A and B are shown apart, each in its own frame.
Chain A
Amino acid sequence: MRVGIVGAGAIVRRGHLPVYGTMPEVEVVGITDLDQRLLKEVSEEFKIPRYCASCEELLQDDSIEMVDICTPTPSHLEMVKVAARKGRHILLEKPLATSLKDALEIERVVAENGTKLCVVQNWRYFPSVTATKERVSKGYLGKIVTIHGLGVQPFPTSWTLSTWHYHHGGALYDFGPHLIDMILWLKDFQPIKKVYASGGDFSQGNMDFINYAVINMEFADGSIATADISWVTAMMLKFTLDIYGTGGNIFLDVRNDAISETRGFPTPLDDAGFLLRKTWKLGTGLIRGTYFRGANLGYKPLIVGFMSSINGRGEIPVPVEHALMTNTVLEAAEESIRQNKAIYLEELVDARRPH
């Protein structure tokens, strides 16, 4: 498959391009970015034959079948419009957009042009996550009652010196899309009735964006999920989910790729077993060189899955509907913090959808 890349930032250099390089079935034929110096460097490093100044120019190459968009989120809508109108399939870095209005527009543009769009949710492919999903889907935990998710990391100053992250939604749209997506995925994207969120600016007015929040989601089936998202704690990255079902509980440490399934009265033996498994994984991960690759390992299965769906084999791994629901929750949380009240999702989508 011939791929064109839009954006030459850190995620492309450290994640996407190294993965494409290990896939003989993929040929990266061109790349575009606003930063010409960076563009030249990246195309030389990864031996990309063509680099150009705009997405439009890149897509003049009719042989490109899939466009990988890794630009800052506020530009996603514009880039998706260009690619979809040219009839190209789109792999889009998360999140879909920084506003529900844009996300709905992306959904419309993609449907109108009959192209396929997959959003990058690489954390779903950690072995512990797929194992958890399997256990939940097969009913080993019974009916899910509550999920408590935690996704904390520092301010993303190391990712980028551009400051596009610091729009009003802030931390919600940084690691939030991964955490919310995983919660919704474990719940099979069942409809959410309402969202209530607390949080905002922990510096009490010095930052004009959300830097910490706890989101409470009430599903239509009565189950509840919370998502604790923050930029302000002393954590490099902690990504965990505590899933309670009527038939059992799973504690999932995503970053360390470890799970602990408990029932009855959890004892120190459970803790010791979990610690042992986690340490074993860390040790083998260090020896095999996989531990520090972290979420980068998730790109390949996601891209392979998407390419298969483009070729008519299987579903899109993370379709636009999934990402749209994640965006709806994030916007509801943002609104809830602003208005200090619960937000009903149906009403929110109705209000944002162009009539």
Chain B
Amino acid sequence: MRSLIATTTSGYEDVYANLGRALALLNISALDVHRPVVIKINMCDARAAETGAITHPLFLDAVLHHLRANSENLKIYVVESDATVALADKFIQWFGFVPILHKWNAEFVNLSKIRAVNIEVKGRYLKEIAVPEILAEPHFFITIPKPKINPISTITCCLKNQFGCLPRVDKGIYHPHLDDVIADVNSVICPDLCLVDGITAQGSIWGPALGVPIPLKAIICSKDPVAVDSYCAKIMGFNPWFIGHIRKSASSKVGSMRYSLRGDKVAKVDFETSKFQLRLLKFAGSLRRRTQQQFRAEGRRRG
């Protein structure tokens, strides 16, 4: 079965109207939700919104506007976790989210600082997943990722955004098994709605933090994160079948790689990524790790 993806072209100045159009194309005339809403934004590093590295506060503003249009009393939580290079509480202040949260009466929750529930899974790599309490209780889950190049997972978008729901800070330990872990996490924490902030995406091999801001000017919405990632991979110049976490998530029944598009045509944009450079960077990364481990080991040898 094909999953439906709605796309609209947009800038940040008219994001509210175009997000509304995209939701209508998905046959969601309004975000009429009665469970607490959990919105996972993407704040992977200390980078400002114009760089395309993090969810733009104006995009979140538009999402909250649509949510509040139907319910004043709805509990809305905006969530992110700490990571090896992310201080969620700080970033929320630094990058202009606080006034927006106040404006729409939404609460920020740092997933690394709340209780987590261990859920047993028959995963590809994980056998148990620590799910933050807020995501273990009944809720409506919206993921707001950024489409970016990532030398480890090739692309990062909807599926990878759920990896950021893991509460542990040293998530980097999963990098050697990232494709499997992403598929495992999404089998437990799967979004009800994916709203991709593709107005400014990020390209080049220096993603997902220091890459080139790419004016993709697109909002991409779907209920299926696998479909969205498959489509975004194509936009970014990759075949989704060669991207491990997309293929594995599809085979774990998180969603479908087959999709149909509705809405505005997203213009072809060069993501300024050379596949050769990407491989070279991966190699340099492994060389760097090995060199540093060697350096440390030399010091250990004598004790």
Contacts and interface: CB of A to CB of B under 8 A. Distances in A.
Contacts of A154: 45-47, 209-210
Q: Which range contains the number of A residues in contact with the other chain?
A: 20 to 34
B85 A158 contact: yes
B294 interface: yes
A292 interface: yes
Contacts of B296: 13-14, 17-18
B144 to A, nearest CB: 20
A335 B119 CA distance: 53
A293 B87 contact: no
Contact of B210 (A20, A24, A234): A234
Given A22-B298, A46-B300, A166-B90, A158 B84 contact: yes
Contacts of B27: none
Interface in B103-127: none
B89 to A, nearest CB: 9
Interface string A290-302: 0111001000000
B288 A292 contact: yes
A14 B289 CA distance: 12
B12 interface: no
Nearest to B288: A292
Contacts of B292: 14, 292-293
Interface in A219-258: 231-232, 234-236
Interface stretch (B15-23, B93-101, B159-167, B249-257): B93-101
A289 interface: yes
A204 B111 CA distance: 27
B210 A236 contact: yes
Contact of A155 (B46, B93, B206, B295): B46
Interface string B48-60: 1001000000000
Contacts, number: 83
Given A20-B299, A155-B46, A234-B51, A203 B96 contact: yes
Contact of A203 (B94, B209, B288): B94
Contacts of B51: 234
Interface of chain A, main secondary structure = loop
A127 interface: no
Nearest to A297: B295
A289 B86 contact: no
Contacts of B82: 161
Nearest to A201: B94
B102 interface: no
A21 B300 contact: yes
A334 to B, nearest CB: 19
B166 to A, nearest CB: 15
Contacts of B93: 206-207
Nearest to B294: A289
Contacts of B87: 157, 161, 163
A289 B96 contact: no
Interface in A121-158: 154-155, 157-158
A206 B302 contact: no
B90 to A, nearest CB: 7
Contacts of A14: 292, 295-296
A47 interface: yes
Contacts of B86: 157
Interface in B76-92: 82, 84-87, 90
Interface string A156-169: 01100101001000
Given A161-B169, A203-B94, A206-B94, A22 B302 contact: yes
Interface of A: 13-14, 17-22, 24, 45-47, 154-155, 157-158, 161, 163, 166, 202-203, 206-207, 231-232, 234-236, 286, 289, 291-293, 296
Given A18-B296, A161-B82, A234-B210, 12 more contacts: A14-B296, A18-B298, A21-B302, A47-B303, A157-B85, A161-B169, A231-B46, A234-B47, A292-B287, A292-B288, A292-B291, A296-B295
21 contacts: A14-B296, A17-B296, A18-B300, A21-B300, A47-B300, A47-B303, A154-B47, A155-B45, A155-B46, A157-B85, A158-B85, A161-B82, A203-B94, A206-B95, A207-B94, A234-B47, A234-B210, A235-B210, A289-B291, A293-B295, A296-B295
